[in-house]
Structure 1
Amino acid sequence: MPPELAFDYVAQILVDSDVHGLFTKDQLGKGINTVYSNCCSDLPFLYTSDCGEDRRIKGIRNLTHLYQNFFNRHCTGQVTDIGNSRDDGPMGFICYMFWDVFVLYPGNATPGMVDAAIDVMHSVLQTNHDSSLMSAIHGLGHWASSVPDAVSILKHWCQKPTTQNHAVLEYARAASTGMIQ
């Protein structure tokens, strides 16, 4: 299958808000992990090398739909400590670990791709969904040493957080220094 067509299928799954109703939460979590973890498939490389930069940036920006249509809907467990995804099974795992397993990072991305990823994480911080917040904070924390905007976004969010969850707030403070788990 040509990379562009594969990317179109991935994008369609993300933006179709009804896809999540066709599968169980565990199936969705495992499927998302398969699509985004290079341990499971080659699909993540669509975001780094297999398509043109404009298409990759569009694909990265579409990740906002991953949060809206999947993580926000299905990660329902209470966030009580860092990385606690036990209540949400595979979906909770991939939500929290998304920016770890995803192949994109500042060292292998163009400035436009980095900006798009930072924009996705920043947009997630505008929600009040604790699991998604932890995911974005985790990602920004990983990028803090390479992308100054990651630190400023986290510090700004800490001044006006969208949650009162103590575990999330403490994690954001630590992530702004690059100290994450």
Structure 2
Amino acid sequence: MGFDAVLCDLDGVLRWWDPAIMRDAERIGALPPGTLAGAAFAPERLVPAITGVQSDEQWREAVVADIAGHCGADTARQVVARWSEPVGEVVDEVAAILAGLRVPVVLVSNATSRLESDLAALGVLDLFDAVVNSSSVGVAKPEPGIYRFAADQAGVEPDRCLFIDDTQANVEAARALGMTSLHYRDPAGLRAALA
């Protein structure tokens, strides 16, 4: 095995989100499809939330303000509340793979201050030796600092880490630091990379 630790992304790898969540929330406000995602994930909205400049609550309040022009403030609050309720679903096969590893496993996620409560609700905290949340560290993937911080948390040099992520830019950034990197597509590919 060419690595002594595994650094793993959350969303798109271990956690899956049903696209219907956003559509159902948008229906409350009769919003055009994509309005909520456009507001929530616009870089000027999302980056402060995933780098710790804003809390998760402040980010969601800003999203309410952004969509209030479409449906009014009260309805916008209902839309965001509905979108905010779920915590996603665990990809059980990936959880089983991570649980079977005999090296340190570190979660590395571009996430808001809500990450830890989501992990507890999902019941996956015990899969990780450490959790690296971009909003706590103050830097997000693909910035090199978060990868180095994660390797430190694992107690190994970057070139002894396997980094797993579903976003190509994040994978390339890890590779540039000397990490073995896997662009995640499915559990079978993950199993093969770990074999």
User: What is the TM-score normalised by the length of structure 1?
Assistant: 0.28
Q: State which structure, 1 or 2, has the greater radius of gyration over its C-alpha atoms.
A: 2
Structure with greater strand share of residues: 2
Q: Which has the higher helix share?
A: 1
What is the TM-score with the length of structure 2 in the denominator? 0.27
